[in-house]
Amino acid sequence: MQAYRRLKILAAVVLCGYAVAAVAVKAAFRHEREVFPLFSWSLYSTAPREEADYGLRIMEVGGGALNPPLFVEDAKTFFPYVKQAQLIASVQFLGRALDSGNTEAVKRYRHLLERHHLRGRGAVHYEIVRRRYNTLARWSSGEIKSVSTVATLSTDEAAP
């Protein structure tokens, strides 16, 4: 068989294989959406007016209390180099692990969060919370309908 004929078959296999794998990844790993390097390409697939997620609320940084406490998305001045998408994803994983009582996953995601995202500012006292809000209302006025604490945690980093 000519090389270009083999390539035609390869092209069909790659395209069909990726499409099937993308659907399988989405079906099997609802939250993760990806098994590196396969990605379901499910981006902004839903547009819910009411959002329910986990948030990381910072109470204290380097010994200084924050009044009022800040959600980590609004605390960029403390952690300017943090990749927000990575941080928010880690918070969701940690929240789900805490809720399901998966201590191994809690340990892993807490370690990642504290040793990677929240480092460099001394001890950080924070809460993982469950939030419910209307996306547009929160954007315009900061209103969050309900917040309930899932866990209160602290990093063990010494002050810089």
Contact residues toward another protein (CB under 8 A) are 2-5, 7-12, 14-15, 18-19, 22, 26, 34, 36-37, 39-49, 51, 73-76, 81, 83-90, 93, 108-109, 111-113, 115-117, 119, 135-136, 138-140
Question: What's the rounded Cα separation, in Å, for the pair 92 and 75?
Answer: 17
DSSP code for 14:
H
Q: Provide, rounded to whole angstroms, the least separation between the CB of residue 108 and another protein.
A: 6
DSSP code for 157:
P
Q: Provide, rounded to whole angstroms, the least separation between the CB of residue 15 and another protein.
A: 6
For 29, the 3-state DSSP assignment is coil
Residue 130 sits at the vertex; the CA angle it makes with 127 and 134, to the nearest 5 degrees, is 125
In this structure, are residues 87 and 72 in contact, taking their beta carbons and an 8 Å threshold?
yes
Q: Provide, rounded to whole angstroms, the least separation between the CB of residue 151 and another protein.
A: 17
Q: Provide, rounded to whole angstroms, the least separation between the CB of residue 81 and another protein.
A: 8
Give Rg (Cα) of the chain: 20
